[in-house]
């Protein structure tokens, strides 16, 4: 049973990455484009361009979430997005109350830790990182096979 679970780990991790990336990208799209109900507190609108910190958070969420979703530069994108979520929690939510359930910061705290996990685990299966790594390995192997060996 444990062996089967271990064999499934990269696939489950890949699905986890896809879901987390999609959800974060949706938050960014809502802030920047007013879709999916719009930015919080704007009655379905957008965050004004360049406003600190919400517009920048929206850009990080949209770009970082999309990269995490695709599994492209996952560790770097997850690191930056995780930091953005930590900032959101400690600067926006935590001053209102200590616990996330009291201050409305459950999403920020959960996304922060989920993204931090991806920094250490990588993209798992189904990511473009994996595709490019396999292609690079195959090209290196092919080049090595074609290189004549000197006698």
| CB 39, CB 133: distance < 8 Å | no
Assess whether pLDDT exceeds 80 at residue 5. Answer: yes
pLDDT in tens, 40-50: 878 888 999 99
pLDDT in tens, 58-100: 999 999 999 999 999 999 999 999 999 999 999 999 999 999 9
Q: Of the ranges 20-34, 40-54, 121-135, which is most confident? A: 20-34
Distances, alpha carbon 143 to alpha carbons 36, 91, 117, 140, 149, in Å: 48, 52, 35, 5, 12
Task: Find the angle CA(117)-CA(63)-CA(82) to the nearest 5 degrees.
Answer: 30
Other CB atoms within a 10 A radius of the CB of residue 12 amount to: 12
Distances, alpha carbon 7 to alpha carbons 10, 17, 116, 125, in Å: 7, 17, 23, 11
């Amino acid at each position: 049973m444990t062996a089967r679970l271990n064999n499934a780990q990269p696939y489950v991790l890949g699905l986890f990455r896809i879901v987390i990336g999609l959800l974060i990208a949706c938050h960014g799209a809502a802030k920047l484009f007013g879709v999916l109900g719009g930015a919080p507190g704007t009655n379905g609108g957008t965050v004004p361009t360049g406003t600190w910190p919400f517009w920048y958070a929206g850009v990080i969420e949209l770009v970082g979430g999309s990269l995490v979703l695709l599994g492209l530069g996952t560790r770097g994108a997850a690191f930056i997005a995780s930091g953005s979520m930590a900032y959101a929690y400690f600067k926006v939510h935590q001053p209102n109350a200590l616990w996330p359930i009291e201050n409305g910061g459950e999403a920020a705290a959960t996304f922060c830790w989920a993204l931090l996990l991806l920094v250490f685990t990588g993209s798992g299966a189904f990511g473009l990182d994996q595709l490019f790594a396999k292609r690079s390995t195959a090209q290196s192997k092919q080049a090595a096979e074609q290189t004549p060996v000197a006698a």
